[in-house]
Amino acid sequence: MDKLTDDPYIGIAIVHVVDFRLQCSPSGSYQDPQYGTLDKAKFQFIGERPRGANGFDEDFMRTYSLLSNIQNLGAKSQYRKDMLNENTIRFAKNIFEKRDVPVPDSPTSVKCAVYLEDLENPREAPSVSTLATKMDTEMAHWPIKEDYINDLEGIKANYKAVPLRVYDTNDTFVEPANVNKLLHNALVEVHFTLHHTYLPKSTPPHDSFRTNIKQILILDSGKQKENVYRSDPHAGPIRMHHSPPPTKLPPPKKMRMDESRGELKE
């Protein structure tokens, strides 16, 4: 916390976004209900040292060292998880926030399930005063994968989607569906707050530290590597362009013996 204002302290780090655990799509870290519900899904990515990027590589190591010291000062156990690992920093943010006032659910998927117990024991409809009148546009059109549409429908009434504040090199807002692609291999400026939770009932007890993403500014877009072998196999073989051999080979060097030293010389 900022001692002067009692507000969360805003940190800033310049990092290189790596491929490992880059999960900033509209579904984030969500994969399957057995591993956690959709309302708990997070945007997350791993930042590493930006080597040779205008001196930011040294700044990164200072930032990493500072965060490590904060962990050591605040931890209540010897196990510290979720934020630092081998000179990398994990950044994360919840995708969905709990609504203050529920809104009427508005399923759009034809696959939405109807349960027999709900038909046999209908619940009382909530009063109009406790409901918002309209689903917000962001949640109504959240561009999640088709596989997760039904899961999204199940939380719409009580949760809202909060997009990442991501801006490209022209300071233009990046739409949620494009964030993962643009962050890949990019150099970014991350604004974040720190959050610490001690979990004494875990086995073993441990401390969880997290850098909560507030804003991401893309400083340099990563170069997307294309896999040439994804083209149509019927189109023919892939020809790789190697450096051509010289048109004329140089003559071999003549060797002579230095009899006084017993050595070969050119």
pLDDT tens per residue, range 203-235: 999 999 999 999 999 999 876 555 656 667 877
pLDDT of res. 105: 60
Architecture (CATH level 2) of domain 1-95+162-223: Beta Barrel (2.40)
Question: pTM of the entire structure?
Answer: 0.73
**Which residues of the chain does CATH 2.40.50 include?**
1-95+162-223
pLDDT of res. 128: 47
Tally of helices (H runs) and strands (E runs) in the chain: 5, 11
Contacts with 111 (C-beta within 8 Å, 6 or more apart), sequence order: 149, 150
pLDDT of res. 265: 53
pLDDT of res. 19: 87
Q: Which regions in the chain score pLDDT beneath 70? A: 53-54, 105-133, 223-231, 239-266
Contacts with 48 (C-beta within 8 Å, 6 or more apart), sequence order: 15, 16, 18, 60, 87, 88, 89
Cα–Cα distance for residue pair 245/247, rounded to 1 Å = 6
- Mean per-residue pLDDT over the chain, rounded: 83
Checking DSSP bridges between strand 11-17 and strand 187-199, what pairing results, if any?
Answer: antiparallel
For residue 123, which amino acid is it? Answer: R
Instruction: Write the DSSP assignment of 178-225 as a string of letters.
Output: GHHHHHTT-EEEEEEEEEEEEETTSSS-EEEEEEEEEEEEEEEPPPPP
